[in-house]
Amino acid sequence: MTGLGRWHVGPWTTRGTRPGEVAVPGRRRTVDELNFDVVGLARILGRRLSGRDELQVRLWQNELRPTHTRLCGLHTLADPSNAQLLHDTAQEALAWLSERAPAGYEFVLSDAVELRPVLDLSAPVVAVDAVVVLADVPLPAARLATAHVRRSAAGDWYAGDAVCNWSGPHTTSNGAVAVVRQARAELVEQLRAAGRDDLAATAERWPTVPVESD
């Protein structure tokens, strides 16, 4: 099984309405549109389908969004049994995604597919993001302590999140990783100062600093 080479915490699809909620045309997907997004996300990330299943995806696409400019939040599948098939297929796609979640994280389907840290301090791997969430106090080192290391198109290395760079440029990945490790050490001290020794004690089970080369 191949894990994700690049990932971020938070939503991975457009948000949608859940069953029983009021539709929000133009802003949130319908239930069927959201299920279709789940199937599409897994395909984008490498899930392969049979020829028959690919044809079914095309049929759903034609009914829900025949053009890229079609307003979302309005369209549903006419046949309830077809909608159920799409729902079941989306659940299979979500299970496929879940198997590829980074250690210490999980994919969940709420009003979007989201990657969240697992908030279980007894787990073999405890994500730094989970510690920050559970602490629920200001931690100045948290932003950089949860950073990934990425290489820019110019070849420099940065530490940051999916949107912003918090440190860099660095000439090597090791230089950027060292900055994140230092921030993690500072985070441990800040957790202890906040009276959260239980969270600080998980540091030995934090994942290694994620390094992405492209």
Residue 5 forms part of a structural domain: no
Mean pLDDT for all residues in the chain: 93
Question: Which residues constitute the domain of residue 165?
Answer: 120-212
- For the chain, what percent of residues have pLDDT higher than 90? 83
Task: Say yes or no: 81 and 179 in one domain.
Answer: no
Q: pLDDT tens digits, residue range 78-118?
A: 999 999 999 999 999 999 999 999 999 999 999 999 999 99
- 18 versus 198: the higher-pLDDT residue is 198
Task: Say yes or no: 173 and 111 in one domain.
Answer: no
Residue 3 forms part of a structural domain: no
Task: Say yes or no: 107 and 163 in one domain.
Answer: no
Query: Which of 116, 134, 167 is a domain's end point?
Result: 116
Residue 52 forms part of a structural domain: yes
Q: How far are the Cα atoms of 5, 22, 49 from residue 52, in angstroms, in the given order?
A: 29, 34, 8
Residue 101 forms part of a structural domain: yes
- pTM recorded for the entire structure: 0.87
- Domains of the chain: total: 2
User: Has residue 1 got a pLDDT over 60?
Assistant: no
Residue 4 forms part of a structural domain: no
Task: Say yes or no: 54 and 68 in one domain.
Answer: yes
Q: What is the pLDDT of residue 69?
A: 72
Distance CA 212, CA 157 (A): 10
Task: Say yes or no: 143 and 102 in one domain.
Answer: no
Task: Say yes or no: 124 and 172 in one domain.
Answer: yes
Residue 148: closest CA among 110, 119, 100, 105: 105
β-pair type (105-109, 148-151): unpaired
Which band of pLDDT confidence, cut at 50, 70 and 90, is reported for residue 21?
A: confident
Which band of pLDDT confidence, cut at 50, 70 and 90, is reported for residue 212?
A: confident
Task: Say yes or no: 103 and 36 in one domain.
Answer: yes
Query: Which of 96, 116, 136 is a domain's end point?
Result: 116
Task: Say yes or no: 93 and 108 in one domain.
Answer: yes
Q: How many residues in the chain?
A: 214
Distance CA 151, CA 98 (A): 26
Task: Say yes or no: 127 and 104 in one domain.
Answer: no
Which band of pLDDT confidence, cut at 50, 70 and 90, is reported for residue 213?
A: low
Task: Say yes or no: 102 and 150 in one domain.
Answer: no
Task: Say yes or no: 166 and 85 in one domain.
Answer: no
- For the chain, what percent of residues have pLDDT higher than 70? 96
Q: pLDDT tens digits, residue range 52-88?
A: 999 999 999 999 986 667 788 889 999 999 999 999 9
Which band of pLDDT confidence, cut at 50, 70 and 90, is reported for residue 214?
A: low
- 74 versus 190: the higher-pLDDT residue is 190
Residue 1 forms part of a structural domain: no
Query: Which of 71, 96, 116 is a domain's end point?
Result: 116
Task: Say yes or no: 22 and 112 in one domain.
Answer: yes
Which residue shows structure tokens 């590829």? 100
